[in-house]
Structure 1
Amino acid sequence: MPGPVAFPIGFVSLHTGLSTHVIRAWERRYHAIAPQRSANGRRLFTQSDIDRLILLRRVIQNGHSISYIAGLDRAKLVELAETTSPPAIQPNKPTHADSKMSAGIAPTEIVSHSIEAVAMLDGKALQGILQQAAATFSRQALIDTIFCPLMEQVGHRWSDGSLRIVHGQLAAVVIHAQLIGLLSHPTGDAAEKPCLLIAAPAGQCCYLGALAVAITAQDHGWEPVFLGFNLPAEEIAAASSIPGAEMIALSITCRVNDAFMQDELIRLSDLLDNGCPLVVGGRASHNYRRSIEAAGGENCSTAAELVSRLE
């Protein structure tokens, strides 16, 4: 008889909402699951493994640590998953807003507490809040439900005058550090992965979105290379000659001079003589959809669209 159907780690990540890094860590450090191995050493998961990972995530969102629940059987995990009053977990040195954090708190409340820390210019508290969130949520969920909404709220409050530029700068610095920390975790042999070049083009000085793209790409089997921000088309095209470069991703988060941005996209298309595919995302990218498509690129304005393109 054939054995149970086995799934690769990328498939499991998509269906559980857990990053591949978290799945590997739960296996290696806590022995929460025991996936099979293919002939070439790659992890293969059964449907039972997937169900257990989903259950573990639910229990963690109820306030329990992976170190405590990793060895529990299914019945106990189901019991804990149905618990509606999670125990609060306080940081080692609570200060201001981070004293309100618990591992089972909803993303909207995490963002609310983060805004309080930003308003008080308490970078240490904000760092503590986001670090606790990182221990609970997958990397993509962290970006989609916490980092992005937080920066959007900071931007709105700067616009209405309730926050100043310095508040936005502090939030950006702390989130930048969090993204770099997430990106620095090794995820296997880079030589075996396709290379994705990532940049913020000329006129774009915010690169948090580009770093988020790098993390998403890393979670889906790519080796991201972040080239930088405010890069002219000539520099991005020159980088495409890197051996193994299979795609270029641009992050456009701010709407600048439309004619200038359109010209940059067309010039980049003309300079890419090696046929390297181009994808463009970011919250302002939809404003340039026609120019992106005219340049032979694809506008991926959401994380789901980017993931679909990467796969």
Structure 2
Amino acid sequence: MTVSTYSIKDLEQLSGIKAHTLRIWEQRYSLLSPKRTDTNIRYYDDNDLKLILNVALLNENGYKISKIASMSPDEVREEVVKLTERTLTHDDQIHALTISMIELDEERFDKVISTNILKIGFEQTMLSIIYPFLSKIGVLWQTGSINPAQEHFISNLVRQKLIVAIDGQVTKSGGKKFLLYLPEGELHEISLLFAAYIIKLKGHKVIYLGQSTPRSDLHMVYDVHQPDFLVTIITTAPSADQVEEYIKDISSKFSSTQLIISGIQVLGHDFRFPENVRVLNYIRDIKAYIEEIESFAHSNN
């Protein structure tokens, strides 16, 4: 497995501790042991990142840095585990998830998520903890600072949690039909799964096609189910110069259906879409959109 390396700016972004403070801690307490490349550029490894995440968490919860510096790595970790088991501040939980990602610790990840689901529910755990966590490390994934194995590890665990949560929902009779899919080449599935969870939570029917759906498959399933809504998210595919044409083509092919779209390839552009296209700034806004649909339906009854 490729070893991950981090700059001091990476440590700052992941831990929330300013680079200037990290350097002081390094010099005064020897908390970090930076390595150097052949060209004498300083870098840090996974052990440094895990340590500084633990140190940051303890420090934010009232532990003096001098006290932390006198503890062994095992003692630091034990204190962090105790702390994250009794505290439920969102930042603390995000810290704990980040550590479990770096350590590839499925048991720790599962415990953090399960505890939060029991306390605040699945939806709020997604919105207040998992989404901010994914956003926090997303930039580092893109720049290669975080190992792809760590990305896949976390994404698959979140995906598993979503699938279990979706399976636990019951569709109401008389609910609307939503067909959810990702365009060909699009693999970023977590937000689509969360949309499926919210739709089922509200009692509506979900037909889920998932990642990289060929248009022929989309047409076939559409013809069978005749859904009221199509839902898709465009993060990487189709590309920015093709997305407007793609959406217009889909909206015309399924002109009697409302198309709900989101994703970074769609947002922030001056696209002009047909009337049957609704753009959501965040896919989590789908809950408010469904409530809007339901309110409109009730007012017309």
Question: Structure 1-normalised TM-score?
Answer: 0.61
Distance 1:208 1:194, change over 3 A: same
Aligned-partner residue type, residue 263 of structure 2? G
Structure 1 residues 31-66: Cα deviation after superposition (integer angstroms, max 9, x where no partner) = xxxxxxxxxxxxxxxxxxxxxxxxxxxxxxxxxxxx
Residue 262 of structure 2 is matched in structure 1 by: 281
Distance 1:270 1:308, change over 3 A: same
Unpaired stretches in structure 1, ≥5 consecutive residues: 1-93
Is residue 232–residue 264 contact of structure 1 (8 Å, CA) maintained in 2? no
Higher helix share: 2
Shift of 1:185: 0.5
**DSSP 3-state at the match of 2:232:** strand
Residue 210 of structure 1 is matched in structure 2 by: 192
Residue 57 of structure 2 is matched in structure 1 by: none
2 CA distance for matches of 1:272 and 1:244?
Answer: 10
Residue 250 of structure 1 is matched in structure 2 by: 232
Shift of 1:99: 4.8
2 CA distance for matches of 1:217 and 1:239?
Answer: 18
Matched, 1:197 2:179: yes
**DSSP 3-state at the match of 1:221:** coil
Distance 1:232 1:178, change over 3 A: same
Unpaired stretches in structure 2, ≥5 consecutive residues: 1-76, 292-301
2 CA distance for matches of 1:203 and 1:260?
Answer: 13
Is residue 95–residue 125 contact of structure 1 (8 Å, CA) maintained in 2? no
Is residue 96–residue 117 contact of structure 1 (8 Å, CA) maintained in 2? no
1 CA distance for matches of 2:257 and 2:138?
Answer: 34
Is residue 209–residue 253 contact of structure 1 (8 Å, CA) maintained in 2? no
Task: Give 1:120's match in structure 2, choosing from 86, 103, 111.
Answer: 103
Is residue 203–residue 256 contact of structure 1 (8 Å, CA) maintained in 2? yes
Structure 1 residues 71-97: Cα deviation after superposition (integer angstroms, max 9, x where no partner) = xxxxxxxxxxxxxxxxxxxxxxx9996
Q: What are the within-5 Å matches in structure 2 for residues 63-212 of structure 1?
A: 99-102=82-85, 104-187=87-170, 189-212=171-194
Task: Give 1:308's match in structure 2, choosing from 288, 297, 301.
Answer: 288
Q: Larger Rg: 1 or 2? A: 2
Aligned-partner residue type, residue 306 of structure 1? I
How high is the sequence identity, in percent, across the aligned residues? 12
Residue 226 of structure 1 is matched in structure 2 by: 208
Shift of 1:221: 2.5
Distance 1:232 1:102, change over 3 A: same
RMSD in angstroms over aligned alpha carbons?
A: 2.7
Matched, 1:261 2:263: no
Structure 1 stretches (4+) deviating beyond 4 angstroms?
94-99
1 CA distance for matches of 2:267 and 2:161?
Answer: 27
**DSSP 3-state at the match of 2:210:** strand
Is residue 103–residue 133 contact of structure 1 (8 Å, CA) maintained in 2? no
Count of residues in Structure 1 that have an aligned counterpart in Structure 2: 215
Matched, 1:298 2:281: no
Aligned-partner residue type, residue 190 of structure 2? L
Distance 1:295 1:258, change over 3 A: farther
Is residue 260–residue 279 contact of structure 2 (8 Å, CA) maintained in 1? yes
